[in-house]
Amino acid sequence: MQGMSIAQAEARVDLVKQAFWLEWITIAWMLVEAAIAIASGIAAHSVTLLAFGLDSVIELISAGVLLWRLTVELRHGQAFSDRAEQRAGKTGGALLFALAAYVVMSAGWSLWTQRAGDFSMPGLMVALAAMPIMYFLAKRKIALAEKIGSRALRADAVESITCGWLSLVVVIGLTAQYLTGAWWVDAATSLGIVWFLVKEGREAWTGAECCDSCH
């Protein structure tokens, strides 16, 4: 790779491979999470669980884009990955915008209809499991994104963080619904993360805060 010693190039390839496997772990978990959340949401008529499941689908798409970007670098080198990085970064930003829009629409619909779905134990369990899994994945992705200078990987890490927060929202909403019948808790809380999604989406789209010194 241009401007790098052999040792630095080998170290970078190792980091890219680590990111590659993190994306495969993400895909494996998101397939499970999406299936359970969407099925539970349909069965319980829960907008929150359906939104959670669709977030998992967006995360699947994002992970697939990252696999493509990382594969380009592993096969052709860092110079060839620059264009893939730009495309992947914009795609990651667009997905964050889409997720923000969906959260707003989902929360707005819940507040407008003033109805909550039925309580779902499978939905609660998958949301509880998602929190530590997403924390681990996001932490590792952010660390690797800083080392290899990838805004696309950083955007994907933000989506993992968002998934973790949405998991917490689902847990709070379902628990409050079960204990108190407070239908509005999950919808109102989910609106609190929209600003974060938009901010990070703009950074991913424009390339802000990309670690250029790592290239």
Candidate CATH numbers 3.40.50.300, 1.20.1510.10, 2.40.50.1040, 3.30.565.10; the one for domain 20-214: 1.20.1510.10
Q: What Å distances lie between residue 109 and 22, 142, 155, CA to CA?
A: 34, 33, 27
The tokens describing 18, both together, are 């680590």
Which ranges of 77-193 would DSSP assign to H, the alpha helix?
Answer: 78-113, 121-148, 151-179, 185-190
What is the Cα–Cα distance from 52 to 36, expressed in whole angstroms?
Answer: 10
What is the Cα–Cα distance from 84 to 15, expressed in whole angstroms?
Answer: 17
pLDDT attached to residue 82: 62
pLDDT attached to residue 63: 83
List, for residues 77-103, the tens digit of each pLDDT value: 655 556 666 777 687 788 888 888 888
What is the Cα–Cα distance from 133 to 69, expressed in whole angstroms?
Answer: 23
Is a pLDDT exceeding 90 seen at residue 28?
yes
- Per domain, the residue ranges of the chain are 20-214
The tokens describing 187, both together, are 């919808």
List, for residues 105-123, the tens digit of each pLDDT value: 888 887 888 776 678 899 9
